[in-house]
């Protein structure tokens, strides 16, 4: 069969099933999320309270911010496994520098700078050294964690300037600062991804790298930048986490990368690239947060919580592969 | 009694009538060519024959017995083998394993009988006259050889194929491989196998087919022995318009030199290439595969850096560091492989069409979405892209329409020079003509085109001058008055007579070109 002719004879049918599959998949995160909320609110009277929801949002802030960065990377068909380590490393370096006398703003800049630098290293390795993202960031995952332990000598560092505690623990008009930061990061990322030339570049690199390059997209710059963004946001998450705990732990955020990737995938992004939205990622992160919160309220054993979270990821990826099949 | 006859076949997909009362007959030892534009119903017809589709009406008669072909597997057991355009070989397996995939000779324990496998594979390899061993990995073979192995697969079955259907078998083959494929076809024909041969290349149909059937809009519009067709009549039957329009000629006064290249060099691929192209001019780049024309196109388009040499564009130094820089400088590029290098297949028509013009549609890096939408809709209309919606994925379009999307994209930043590599590869005649017309309009407006093409009739039909390449060197520049296939081939091949024979299939194509 020539593909050309097949599509010429069946254009309507194909376009239709593709469109329906796409809408269903996009809607499915939202539907799953709402269904989950309904179930939990029926089972637990404490679920649908303002304080519980602020708690969910607060719990989601770190993962959400990291997942936003991860979304850029995954849409280019890349992956950033180093984010958990970067969260810990950037927080720890900031903590160490503040213990040595640096003021809070410098500490914040240090954390963001460390995150960006690791991102730059990842991006450079992927673009100029043409290494596989999975392997590069697996290496920086280990190196980052090692550096964190080395910098802190394996110790937890306590006691930061008030500004940090403000970022991690205070509220503005009743809304916790980390939640405000999450929403601002989301809005900025949403705009960048869907409205800017760079955002279009991110999608096209994931859609077909070589075609994008020949069409004039600066693919190297785009790819480099998505890793820097991912690192920068991991640094931001590091600041929040450390403010919340009022401590920098060398082992904090271990395994965070998996939750962040899960949020992106549940949100409808494809690991093959070219697909994904910020709104989906936010919903994906909230789904994970709601799930953990609701199961906790219902006193489900943490062992089963982990199992159920895994099952949700499985279903999300399954619906992705099913919709892929209808599209083809 | 014919080997196969199909009577009054109709097939409907929703409201679309893909086949309407189609009948054909095929004798043993005959090659029947089927030609038609994309969407004419050729592929649907062979899918009905192969068992992939069930017809809504009509019957299939094999050896005088009416049969129902319920599935492709059923088709195979009736001795009907269809070789699809997309190869179905497993690259990681050996030639022998691919030949017998799904029915490997094995002992009762399920272990493969290596000896028998290799012996039977060797028989098929000999039959195909291939220079491979049964144990060679398919991944290591050239695409043309793989196409022949695909033919071999059809012959390996226990129910050896008696009817072989080939759908565009030569679209990725070079001239020598086509000759080899044709030798195999003639061999199979002599063995009494009936062959249905579908191709976009009319020259091939004239070369290899005994009879040719033309389809248009799901109907048969003519069946005759090949020697009773002329290329003109055949094209006319396919597109329902006269051949004079095939290569539209526009008269353009040539202007100033637009691009001048001097002493371009690419390690081992290009040797001291200098040329210039003037505004209003279509400069054809001719050469056998590997002669360096594609590499030269990539260099001009900024996709590849030359190791030495320089270029000027409208008198200014032109050092393209990336395709993006070239586009900004006014050079557009239509790459040869539209699916791999040209389009984002899963993305919408609108996204594809506007991909190269985003900087112009944006301020401070922010895209004006309304203007983007407007630009996309205008470009789709302007280039006559047939699509249900600007939002439809490019994958859902026919080959000709995909190519128009690519062309529309390249046009959006308003280039002055276009580098086009095989811009009409594998698309139907109607879309070809539209693309030629586009090229004509582009040069009339003062643009210039570097046209790389593997089809000599096309180069001769629309170029003003042809630069002939051989082994990385520009060996001759032929002016329009001297255009002839013979001359260009003799330059391209280095006046080696054996190459003339390889190209002999083009004689009919030449008539198409000259009658234009």
Sheet strand arrangement including B57-62: B16-26, B4-13, B57-62, B65-67
Question: Facing residues of B163 across strands?
Answer: B80, B194
| Local structure of residue B425 (DSSP, 8 states) | T
Residues B324-328 have a mean pLDDT of: 95
CA–CA distance, A208 with B316 (Å, rounded to integer): 32
The answer to whether A213 contacts B322, with C-beta atoms less than 8 Å apart, is: yes
Taking only the tens place, the pLDDT of each residue in B52-69 is 899 999 999 998 899 999
Give A-chain residues touching B39 at CB under 8 angstroms: 5, 8-9
SS3 letters for B77-118? HCCEEEECCCCCCCCCCEHHHHHCCCCCCECCCCCECHHHHH
Sequence-distant (6+) residues with CB within 8 A of A31 are none
Phi, psi of A318 (to 5 degrees): -60, -45
Residues B352-359 have a mean pLDDT of: 95
| Local structure of residue B342 (DSSP, 8 states) | I
pLDDT, averaged across chain B: 86
Helix axis angle, A278-297 to A11-43, nearest 10° = 30
**According to the model, what pLDDT value does residue A323 have?**
66
Instruction: Give the tokens for residue B59.
Output: 């019957």
Interface check for A213 against chain B (CB to CB < 8 A): the answer is yes
Give me the numbers of helices (H) and strands (E) for chain B, helices first please.
18, 22
Residues A215-239 have a mean pLDDT of: 97
**Least confident interval from A178-192, B16-30, B247-261, B489-503:** B489-503
The answer to whether B14 contacts A195, with C-beta atoms less than 8 Å apart, is: no
CA–CA distance, A77 with A126 (Å, rounded to integer): 12
Sheet strand arrangement including B219-225: B80-83, B163-167, B194-198, B31-35, B211-216, B219-225
Q: Tell me which H or E stretch contains B474.
A: strand B473-479
Do the beta carbons of residue B402 and residue B413 sit within 8 Å?
no
Whole-angstrom CA distances from B154 to A66, A203, B34, B80, B171 are 53, 41, 20, 9, 19
Residue B259 C-beta-side C-alpha neighbours within 13 Å: 34
CB pairs under 8 A between A and B: 147
> What is the SS3 assignment for B66?
strand
Q: Out of A159-163, A322-326, B377-381, B505-509, give the one with best mean pLDDT.
A: B377-381
Taking only the tens place, the pLDDT of each residue in A289-319 is 999 999 999 999 988 988 988 888 888 778 7
Q: Tell me which H or E stretch contains B130.
A: none
CA–CA distance, B449 with B415 (Å, rounded to integer): 10
Give A-chain residues touching B355 at CB under 8 angstroms: 200, 204, 212, 215-217
The answer to whether A211 contacts B323, with C-beta atoms less than 8 Å apart, is: no
The answer to whether B323 contacts A215, with C-beta atoms less than 8 Å apart, is: yes
pLDDT above 60 for A225: yes
CA B357 to chain centre: 28
Other beta carbons within 10 angstroms of residue B437's beta carbon come to 15
pLDDT band at B230; cut points 50, 70, 90: confident
Closest chain A residue to the Cα of B36, Cα to Cα: A5
Which domains does chain B show, CATH number per domain?
4-240 (3.40.50.300), 244-330+414-516 (3.40.50.300), 340-412 (no CATH)
Q: In this predicted model, which residue has the larger pLDDT, B89 or B208?
A: B208
The answer to whether B322 contacts A207, with C-beta atoms less than 8 Å apart, is: no
pLDDT band at B242; cut points 50, 70, 90: low
Q: Would you list the domain boundaries of chain A?
A: 66-317
Sequence-distant (6+) residues with CB within 8 A of A217 are A200, A201, A204, A205, B324, B355
Q: Which CATH number fits domain A66-317: 1.10.3470, 1.10.8, 1.10.150, 2.60.40?
A: 1.10.3470
Whole-angstrom CA distances from B298 to A274, B265, B418, B423, B452 are 25, 13, 11, 14, 11
ipTM, 2 dp: 0.84
pLDDT band at A5; cut points 50, 70, 90: very low
Do the beta carbons of residue B454 and residue B464 sit within 8 Å?
no
Radius of gyration for the alpha carbons in chain B, expressed in angstroms and rounded:
24
CA quadruple A145, A151, A155, A159: dihedral, nearest 10: -110
């Amino acid at each position: 069969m020539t593909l050309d002719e097949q599509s010429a004879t069946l254009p309507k049918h194909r376009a239709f099933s593709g469109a329906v599959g796409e809408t269903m998949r996009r809607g499915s995160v939202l539907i799953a999320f709402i269904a989950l909320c309904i179930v939990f609110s029926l089972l637990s009277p404490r679920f649908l309270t303002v304080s519980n929801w602020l708690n969910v949002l607060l719990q989601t802030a770190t993962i959400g911010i990291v997942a936003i960065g991860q979304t850029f990377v995954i849409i280019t068909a890349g992956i950033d496994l180093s984010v958990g380590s970067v969260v810990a490393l950037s927080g720890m370096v900031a903590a160490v520098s503040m213990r040595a006398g640096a003021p809070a703003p410098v500490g914040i800049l240090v954390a963001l700078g460390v995150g960006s630098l690791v991102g730059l290293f990842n991006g450079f390795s992927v673009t100029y050294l043409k290494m596989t993202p999975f392997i590069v960031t697996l290496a920086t995952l280990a190196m980052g964690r090692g550096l964190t332990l080395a910098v802190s000598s394996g110790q937890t560092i306590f006691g930061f300037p008030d500004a940090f505690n403000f970022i991690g623990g205070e509220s503005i008009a009743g809304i916790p600062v980390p939640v405000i930061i999450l929403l601002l990061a989301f809005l900025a990322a949403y705009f960048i991804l869907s409205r800017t030339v760079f955002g279009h570049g991110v999608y096209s690199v994931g859609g077909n790298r070589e075609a994008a390059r020949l069409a004039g997209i600066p693919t190297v710059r785009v790819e480099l930048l998505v890793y820097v963004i991912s690192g920068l946001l991991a640094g931001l998450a590091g600041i929040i986490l450390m403010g919340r705990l009022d401590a920098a732990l060398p082992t904090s955020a271990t395994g965070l990368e998996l939750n962040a990737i899960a949020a992106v995938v549940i949100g409808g992004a494809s690991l093959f690239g070219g697909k994904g939205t910020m709104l989906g990622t936010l919903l994906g992160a909230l789904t994970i947060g709601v799930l953990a919160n609701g199961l906790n309220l219902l006193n489900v054993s943490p062992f089963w919580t982990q199992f159920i979270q895994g099952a949700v990821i499985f279903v999300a990826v399954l619906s992705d592969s099913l919709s892929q099949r209808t599209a083809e | 009694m014919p080997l196969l006859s199909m009577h009054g076949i109709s097939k409907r997909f929703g409201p679309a009538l893909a086949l309407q009362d189609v009948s054909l007959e095929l004798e043993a030892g005959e090659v029947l060519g089927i030609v038609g534009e994309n969407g004419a119903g050729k592929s649907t017809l062979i899918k009905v024959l192969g068992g992939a589709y069930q017809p809504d009406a009509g019957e299939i008669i094999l050896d005088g017995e009416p049969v129902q072909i319920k599935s492709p597997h059923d088709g195979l057991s009736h001795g009907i083998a269809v070789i699809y355009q997309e190869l179905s070989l497993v690259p990681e397996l050996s030639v022998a394993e691919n030949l017998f995939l799904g029915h490997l000779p094995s002992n009762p324990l399920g272990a493969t009988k290596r000896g028998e496998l290799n012996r039977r594979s060797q028989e098929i390899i000999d039959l195909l006259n291939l220079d491979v061993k049964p144990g060679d990995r398919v991944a290591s073979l050239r695409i043309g050889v793989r196409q022949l192995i695909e033919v071999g697969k059809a012959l390996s079955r226990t129910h050896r194929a008696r009817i072989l259907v080939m759908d565009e078998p030569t679209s990725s083959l070079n001239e020598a491989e086509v000759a080899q494929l044709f030798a195999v076809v003639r061999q199979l024909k002599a063995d009494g196998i009936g062959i249905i041969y579908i191709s976009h290349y009319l020259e091939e149909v004239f070369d290899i087919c005994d009879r040719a059937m033309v389809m248009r809009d799901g109907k048969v519009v003519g069946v005759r022995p090949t020697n009773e067709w002329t290329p003109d009549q055949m094209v006319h039957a396919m597109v329902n318009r006269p051949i004079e329009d095939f290569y539209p000629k526009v008269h353009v006064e040539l202007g100033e030199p637009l691009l001048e290249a001097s002493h371009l060099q690419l390690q081992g691929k290009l040797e001291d290439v200098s040329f210039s192209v003037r505004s209003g001019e279509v400069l054809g780049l001719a050469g056998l595969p590997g002669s360096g024309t594609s590499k030269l196109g990539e260099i001009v388009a900024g996709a590849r850096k030359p190791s030495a040499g320089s270029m000027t564009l409208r008198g200014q130094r032109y050092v393209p560091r990336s395709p993006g820089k070239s586009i900004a400088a006014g050079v557009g590029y239509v790459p040869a492989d539209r699916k791999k290098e040209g389009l984002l297949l899963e993305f919408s028509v609108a996204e594809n069409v506007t991909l190269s013009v985003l900087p112009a549609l944006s301020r401070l890096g922010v895209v004006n979405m309304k203007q983007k939408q407007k630009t996309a809709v205008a470009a789709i209309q302007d280039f006559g892209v047939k699509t249900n919606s600007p939002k439809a994925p490019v994958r859902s379009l026919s080959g000709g329409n995909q190519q128009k999307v690519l062309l529309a994209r390249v046009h959006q930043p308003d280039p002055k020079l276009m580098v086009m590599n095989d811009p009409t590869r594998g698309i139907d005649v109607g879309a070809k003509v539209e693309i030629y017309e586009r090229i004509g309009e582009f040069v009339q407006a003062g643009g210039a085109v570097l046209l790389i093409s593997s089809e000599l009739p096309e180069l001769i039909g629309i170029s003003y001058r042809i630069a002939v390449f051989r082994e990385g060197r520009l060996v001759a520049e032929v002016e329009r008055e001297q255009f002839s296939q013979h001359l260009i081939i003799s330059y391209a091949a280095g006046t080696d007579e054996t190459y003339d024979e390889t190209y002999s299939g083009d004689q009919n194509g030449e008539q198409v070109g000259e009658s234009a």
